[in-house]
Chains A and B, each alone.
Chain A
Amino acid sequence: MSSLRDLSKRYGANVDRFPHYLRKMFEQMSKKSQLPALRPDARIVEESKRFTKPSQWKVQVGDRVLITRGKLSGTVTKVAALHEASNRIYLEQSETRRIIAPQAFWQPNQDSHVLEYPKTYHINDVKVVGTIVEEDGTERDIAADKLVFKGAYFDQDYNKMMPIRRIKYNEHIVIPWPKPEPVEDCEFSTPREVTEVRTHYTDSIVKLDTPEGYSVETFRNPTAKNWSKWNKRYLSKSDIKKLTPPEMPLSETKKAMLADKLKIKEQQITEMSPEVLEFIGGKVAQHLNSITDPNFKQFVDANDPARFIAKKAKKAEEKKALIENNKENYKLNEIRKRVEQKHKSKSVKKHGNKIW
């Protein structure tokens, strides 16, 4: 069966492999095939774009929020659940849509097919509500327009690091995360006290605790067809070359090679003798003096190295001028700063240090 399973992975339709527009089409097809009651009211977000951090969600279950959009805008309610598939949230008091639920999905005491089902809300359509205590001890609710997450702390209730939720531009105001509902242990769960008891002590620092015949190799599949890159049975020539450190100082062969290269480089001719120049130049002159095509003359002039040298010199000159100019500007700026400083100190003496 495993081979069939692998085949289905390889040749089966994987929606993630298709481009986004085709993916959308498949989504719509699958949506059509579902019962209307089971269709989600918001678009399903692809897995890579789903929220994973509290700072992305901005709210957690139990948070008080102010609805800012729709018929219920202005009401304060609580977050009932996070709908992870669509990056949206369910609220305790929210707009509903009417669905026709098949009998299999009926709740206890339900006697009609028609059911009011809560709609999801986007994070941007709610504002988190917090309370601040005034100086005289009275409490006041505030809704955060924008949030910012700075710093983190270990939350005992969530049992993980949580970012500190602050109000943007008033970062001293912290809106704490709501307390999650405690998870009740089932009959199979191990009590916390039991997990924290230390059951193993090492007897000796010389002797290893690991059982006899144990090695990392024992964990690997000895009958594996494809040995991993890091677990090779045979090392190739290039592998050995990579694994062995270079010899220091340079080996004799390498020294000989470098000396040979240097010798060849020294033998290379760097300056042309006048006879050779005369010989080649004569041939070129004979050829160029005989041409009558103006297009060819244009080609020769365009490829004249003297032209490139002049161009290069001009560019260098421009660069030099620019640097000079910058220096001058810098000096002027220095003077302006000094004058402004002087003027400022005068006005401060006269009117005091006023900003407006």
Chain B
Amino acid sequence: MSSKKLFDLTAKQAFEKLPSKLQRFFTRYPPAPFREYASKQTLHNAPDANPFIPNKHAVTGAVQDSVYSLRRQSDLYKLAYKYGIADLMPTLRNDKKLFTEKYETKPTLKGVLRPKGHKWERTYDERQKQIQDALANADNLLVQARGSKYRKRLERRKNEKTTWY
């Protein structure tokens, strides 16, 4: 890819390059320093009513559909993103995020943090300990079952155990 400059535009020329859909939107809804937009539901005639959020009618209290549907606001956002002015848009409905922002703000799932695992995985350590304990206690159990003769045999074997030295 060449690093040659492809555009050399002034502010007015650049604005005219915007698709008419975006031009129309920003004419109707000027961006943040000129006008503020609520990020939550307001009355429909409030000065900071967000066109992306379904607002309440001031008299009847009925919730109206948003001026821009979810699809249309997403379309607008994606278009604005391509022209580098996505941050000038009001907050989308349901705090919708797109592109990298969407993946960065995603909450990590519980299952990813601490996987549940199979039952044999969850009980493995406990079962191993049980086995070790049982093995350590095996001689005592055998002595209980088979009597003093077996205990004497065990002691004898211990005494007669040959070592290398």
Contacts and interface: CB of A to CB of B under 8 A. Distances in A.
Which residue, A272, A279, A282, has most C-beta atoms of chain B within 10 A? Answer: A279
B17 A269 contact: no
Contacts of B26: 272, 276, 280
Which residue, B2, B10, B15, B44, has most C-beta atoms of chain A within 10 A? Answer: B15
A281 B12 contact: yes
A212 B2 CA distance: 99
B28 interface: yes
B136 interface: no
Q: For chain A, which range describes its interface: under 10, 10 to 19, 20 to 34, or 35 or more residues? A: 35 or more
Given A300-B17, A305-B20, A292 B31 contact: no
Interface in B9-31: 9-20, 23, 26-31
Contact of B23 (A289, A296, A305): A305
A269 B15 contact: no
Contacts of A300: 7, 17
B103 interface: no
Contacts of B27: 269-272
B152 to A, nearest CB: 84
Contacts of B5: 289, 292
B8 A289 contact: yes
B63 to A, nearest CB: 16
Contacts of A306: 16
Interface in B68-95: 82-85, 88
A299 B84 contact: no
Contacts of A239: none
Contacts of A297: 6-7
B20 A281 contact: no
A224 B45 CA distance: 52
B14 A276 contact: no
A286 interface: yes
Contact of B30 (A260, A276, A304): A276
B3 interface: yes
A52 interface: no
A133 interface: no
A288 interface: yes
B31 A276 contact: yes
B14 A288 contact: yes
B17 A279 contact: no
A280 B88 contact: yes
A284 B15 contact: yes
Contacts of B82: 296, 299
Nearest to A291: B6
A285 B31 CA distance: 16
Given A281-B14, A305-B16, A288 B9 contact: yes
Given A275-B34, A292-B4, A297-B7, A287 B83 contact: yes
Nearest to A284: B14
A151 interface: no
A285 B11 CA distance: 6
Given A284-B84, A287-B84, A304-B17, A277 B6 contact: no
Contact of A269 (B7, B16, B28, B85): B28
Interface string B35-61: 000000000110000000000000100
Contact of B12 (A264, A277, A283, A305): A277
B112 interface: no
A288 B20 contact: no
Interface in A249-291: 256, 260, 263-264, 268-273, 275-289, 291
A273 B31 CA distance: 12
A288 B11 contact: no
B33 interface: yes
B140 to A, nearest CB: 73
A283 B87 CA distance: 10
Given A281-B11, A305-B19, A306-B16, A292 B1 contact: yes
Closest 5 interchain pairs by CB?
A287-B84, A281-B11, A281-B15, A285-B14, A284-B14
10 contacts: A281-B14, A282-B11, A284-B85, A288-B14, A289-B8, A291-B7, A292-B2, A292-B3, A293-B6, A305-B23
